[in-house]
Amino acid sequence: MLVYIISIWRLSVKFLLLFLFSFALFSDVTLINKDNKSYKLFIENEKQSAFHTSIGENTTTMACKKACKIVIKKNKNTISAKDGETILIKDGKLLKK
């Protein structure tokens, strides 16, 4: 009986950890650069604060929390994204995955 209770407890802990991890995973905007070159970016978040950054070739990074607007500086290509979305840079263009 004790073994059964321990195994149920372990299973419950695993599900709780999985739930918390998946919640954290879907709270950011992910940016994936599929190109073989780096890009300078301008990112404006939902609170109107903005920053300049860059992304290296074939790189994945978190662009922002919640929602933001991403701009590739060189060509002014722009996209808006919200929490949980993944944005791709492919052939110099921003696309939603």
> Is 33 inside a domain boundary?
yes
Single pTM value for the model: 0.71
Query: Domain range spanning residue 59?
Result: 28-96
The whole-number pLDDT of residue 9 equals 61
The whole-number pLDDT of residue 65 equals 84
> Is 8 inside a domain boundary?
no
The whole-number pLDDT of residue 79 equals 97
45 — pLDDT class (breaks 50, 70, 90): confident
Q: Which residues, in sequence order, are CB contacts of 47 under 8 Å at separation 6+?
A: none
Higher pLDDT residue, 33 or 83? 33
> Is 34 inside a domain boundary?
yes
The whole-number pLDDT of residue 46 equals 77
> Is 58 inside a domain boundary?
yes
Domain total in the chain? 1
Q: Is 66 left (phi over 0), alpha (psi -120 to 50) or beta?
A: left
> Is 6 inside a domain boundary?
no
Query: Across all residues in the chain, what is the average pLDDT?
Result: 83
- E strand segments, the chain: 28-33, 39-45, 50-55, 60-65, 68-72, 78-81, 86-90, 93-96
